[in-house]
């Protein structure tokens, strides 16, 4: 039994063959012609899953599945506005459901390329949806279209996060709640909102290149779509409070039920600044509670993230209230991270103890590189040195320049005034820092979200990139 194997072939090309036999007496008559067209092996999607392009895409997309990993390739200009264009691998759901996946990898076809998990009312380009995604340069974002034919809106965003990252969407009726996690164990709620969507909505993996001439290939693992067990999420309204020393403020903490949850949740608060107390009325609830934050006359000033925790047996969820304590005297005590309102990144001395090192920005983590104190010693009244905890050097304008665009570096305290800053508080509780020498303000140039961007000074224009929140450590 003889066989012929031709290994030097190209998928999709047709090859033709005839066979003859040779021996010492000569060659036999040739056989009839036969043909064969090799095809690439395609991994099918799991049972119940479908893949297709949504809207008008420039390059056809595709999806495959192998060894627990989905590979999704999508073109499209965006998932935004009134109509979407992307690739979607999905299955049907019924009622309350949860989809979880780890976005394991993502090509950088655009800073706003989008890869994540989505609930969608239909495959129409203008269908209602809820979508939490990772991006190459703009962090993790929760975006929705609240009704069919409406316009998209952003519910929440956290900068400085990219693949690999876990993402989750939980549906309870018309309420959709988005979470993200670095390890699949500890989850952070990004937002919750209401979307009008049919009970049998689609749930799946969405990829958009944000570039209609390219394909973005992203991979996902640990993918699960399941009917939700009874659970809850927390939300705070308002989630930003600004109070003065000696005063108090309130926020309503709401228990958002998932899949018929109706148990009692016990509430607690942590991360309180020195001199601040928290109380809940009531302390346990099935619906909502009023959180009261009270600041003493000597409470530490600045901005802190107060974590509200709700517990019911083994179920635990959190939400965050940003608390800013101000004082008419303008005093600052303690150690802070300085978070830019435009980028959500914090001031960073890059771990250097050398004069002249550029001051950049970085994702907020626990590190002396990112911690600063305010020292009025030797400064004009109302001005401070902004001192790096890591180096003991000040944030200063390079070369004592008075020009727009001059970079911010670290330097030993001097007499020129280029390292003296006046904190001017804004109505939202943030601060603008005005340089004594130049009269210009510290900013994140161009509202950059790049961790290598050097901060500079510029004429004050009220932009978010010139506003800084003080995060008390």
Query: Residue 434's domain is classified under what CATH number?
Result: 2.80.10.50
CB atoms under 10 Å from CB of 433, counted, come to 22
CATH number of domain containing 206: 2.60.120.200
Residue 270 φ then ψ, to 5°: -140, 170
16 domain-assigned: no
Q: Do 213 and 253 share a structural domain?
A: no
290: domain range?
A: 231-326
The secondary element (H helix, E strand) that includes residue 80 is strand 79-80
Q: Is the peptide bond before 238 cis (omega within 30 degrees of 0)?
A: yes
Are 218 and 99 members of one domain? yes
Residues 284 and 410 in one domain: no
pLDDT in tens, the chain (473 residues): 456 666 666 655 777 788 888 777 788 788 888 877 665 444 478 888 999 999 999 999 999 998 889 999 999 999 999 999 999 999 988 888 999 999 999 999 999 999 999 999 999 999 999 999 999 999 999 999 999 999 999 999 999 999 999 999 999 999 999 999 998 888 999 999 999 999 889 999 999 999 999 999 999 999 988 875 677 888 888 988 888 777 888 999 999 877 667 899 999 999 999 889 999 999 999 999 999 999 887 788 888 999 999 999 988 888 899 998 876 444 677 899 999 999 999 999 999 999 999 999 999 999 999 999 999 888 888 889 999 999 999 999 999 999 999 999 999 998 889 999 999 888 777 899 999 999 999 999 999 999 889 999 999 999 999 999 988 88
Non-local (6+) Cβ contacts of 24 within 8 A are: none
Question: In this structure, is residue 32 part of a structural domain?
Answer: no
- Among candidate residues 157, 192, 227, the one where a domain is terminated: 227
Q: Residue 131 in contact with residue 115, Cβ under 8 Å? A: no
Q: Which residue has the tokens 């988005």?
A: 178
DSSP 84-125: E-EEEEEEE--SSEEEEEEEEEE--SSTT-EEEEEEES-SST
What is d(CA 286, CA 266) in angstroms, rounded to the nearest whole number?
9
CA distances from 129 to 143, 153, 174, 198, 269 (A): 8, 10, 11, 11, 33
445: helix, coil or strand? Answer: helix
What span, in angstroms and rounded, lies between the C-alpha atoms of 152 and 345? 25
Q: Are 188 and 175 in contact (CB under 8 A)?
A: no
Of 412, 385, 449, nearest to 160 by C-alpha is 449
Tell me, yes or no, whether 171 and 316 share the same domain: no
Structure tokens at 363: 């994702």
Stretch (H or E) spanning 303: strand 302-312
- Residue-wise DSSP of 206-266: EEE-S-TTS-EEEEEEEEEEEEPPSEEEEEEESSEEEEETT-EEEEEEEEEEETT----EE
Q: Is position 279 within any domain? A: yes
CATH of the domain at 319: 2.60.40.10
Q: Name which of 334, 351, 327, 364 is nearest 468 in CA terms.
A: 364
Supply the pLDDT for residue 2. Answer: 58
pLDDT at 16: 79
Q: What's the number of domains the chain is made of?
A: 3
pLDDT of residue 10: 62
Q: Which of 207, 209, 214 is nearest to 64 (CA)?
A: 207
What would the DSSP string read from start to end of 364-405? --S-GGG-EEEE-TTSPTT-BEEEETTT-PEEEEGGG--STT
Task: Check if the beta carbon of residue 71 is closer than 8 Å to that of residue 219.
Answer: yes
Residue that has been written with the tokens 């600044």 in this structure: 273
pLDDT computed for residue 9 by the predictor: 67
Q: Omega of the bond prior to 164 within 30 degrees of 0, cis?
A: yes
Residue 395 lies in a domain: yes
Q: In which region does residue 112 sit, left (phi positive, over 0), alpha (psi from -120 to 50) or beta (all else)?
A: alpha
Contacting residues for 68 by C-beta, under 8 A, at least 6 apart: 221, 222
Q: Does 9 map to a domain?
A: no
341/468 same-domain check: yes
Residues whose CB falls within 8 Å of the CB of residue 447, separated by 6 or more in sequence, listed in order: 342, 343, 463, 464, 465
Alpha carbon distance 153, 1 (integer Å)? 67
Q: Do 262 and 396 lie in a common domain?
A: no
pLDDT at residue 328, as a whole number? 46
End position of a domain, from candidates 303, 326, 349: 326
Tell me the whole-structure pTM to 2 decimals.
0.48
* Residues 433, 438, 440, 444, CA torsion sign: negative
90 with 189, same domain: the answer is: yes
Burial class (CB in 10 A: 0-12, 13-18, 19+), 270: exposed
Does any domain span residue 23? no
Query: Are the CB atoms for 267 and 283 separated by under 8 Å?
Result: yes
User: Does the residue 11 lie in any domain?
Assistant: no
User: In terms of domains, do 297 and 239 share one?
Assistant: yes
Q: Is 9 helix (H, G, I), strand (E, B) or coil?
A: coil
How many separate helices (H) and strands (E) can be counted in the chain?
A: 0, 41
- Claim to verify: residue 145 and residue 125 sit in the same structural domain: yes
Q: Would 457 be classed as within a structural domain?
A: yes
Phi-psi region of 84 (alpha: psi -120 to 50; beta: other; left: phi over 0): beta
Q: Please, which residues bridge with residue 204 across strands?
A: 90, 118
- Do 344 and 468 lie in one domain? The reply is yes
Q: Are 235 and 197 members of one domain?
A: no
Same domain (yes/no): 220, 250:
no
- In the numeric block, the tokens 């939700």 are attached to 228
From 326, 355, 385, the end of a domain falls on 326
Q: What is the pLDDT of residue 310?
A: 94
pLDDT of residue 40: 46
């Amino acid at each position: 039994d003889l066989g012929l194997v031709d290994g030097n072939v190209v998928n999709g090309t047709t090859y033709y063959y005839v066979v003859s036999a040779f021996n010492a007496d000569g060659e036999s008559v040739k056989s009839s012609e036969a043909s064969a067209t090799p095809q690439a092996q395609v991994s099918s999607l799991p049972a119940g899953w479908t893949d297709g392009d949504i809207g008008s895409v420039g390059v056809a997309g595709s999806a495959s599945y192998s060894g627990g990993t989905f590979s999704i390739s999508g073109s499209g200009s965006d998932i935004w506005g009134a109509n979407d264009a992307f690739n979607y691998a999905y299955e049907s759901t019924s009622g309350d459901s949860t989809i979880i996946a780890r976005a394991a990898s993502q090509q950088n076809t655009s800073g706003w390329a989008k890869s994540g998990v989505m609930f969608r009312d239909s495959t129409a380009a203008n269908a209602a949806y809820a979508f939490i995604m990772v991006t190459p340069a703009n962090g993790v974002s929760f975006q929705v279209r609240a009704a069919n034919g409406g316009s998209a809106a952003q519910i929440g965003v956290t900068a400085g996060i990219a693949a690999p990252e876990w993402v989750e969407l939980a549906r309870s009726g018309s309420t959709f709640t988005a979470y993200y996690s670095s390890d699949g164990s500890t989850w952070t709620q990004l937002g919750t909102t209401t979307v009008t969507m049919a009970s049998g909505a689609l749930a799946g993996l969405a990829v958009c290149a944000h570039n209609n001439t390219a394909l973005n290939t992203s991979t996902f693992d640990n993918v699960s779509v399941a009917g939700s067990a009874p659970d809850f999420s927390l939300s705070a309204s308002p989630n930003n409070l600004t109070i003065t020393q000696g005063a108090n403020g309130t926020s309503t903490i709401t228990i958002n039920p998932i899949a018929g949850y109706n148990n009692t949740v016990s509430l607690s608060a942590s991360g309180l600044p020195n001199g601040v107390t928290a109380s809940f009325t009531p302390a346990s609830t099935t619906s909502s509670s009023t959180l009261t934050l009270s600041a003493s006359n000597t409470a530490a000033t600045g901005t802190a993230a107060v974590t509200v925790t709700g517990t019911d047996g083994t179920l635990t969820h959190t939400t965050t209230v940003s608390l800013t304590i101000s004082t008419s005297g303008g005093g600052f005590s303690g150690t802070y991270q300085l978070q830019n309102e435009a980028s959500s990144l914090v001031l960073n001395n890059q771990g250097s103890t050398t004069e002249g090192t550029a001051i950049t920005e970085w994702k907020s983590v626990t590190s002396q590189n990112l911690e600063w104190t305010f020292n009025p010693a030797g400064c004009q009244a109302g001005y401070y040195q902004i001192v790096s905890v890591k180096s003991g050097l000040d944030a200063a304008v390079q070369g004592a320049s008075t020009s727009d665009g001059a970079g911010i570096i670290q330097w030993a305290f001097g007499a020129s005034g280029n390292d003296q800053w006046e904190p001017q508080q804004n109505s939202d509780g943030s601060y603008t820092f005005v340089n004594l020498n130049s009269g210009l303000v510290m900013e994140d140039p161009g509202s950059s979200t790049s961790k290598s961007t050097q901060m500079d000074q510029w004429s004050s224009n009220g932009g978010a990139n010139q506003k800084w929140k003080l995060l008390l450590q």
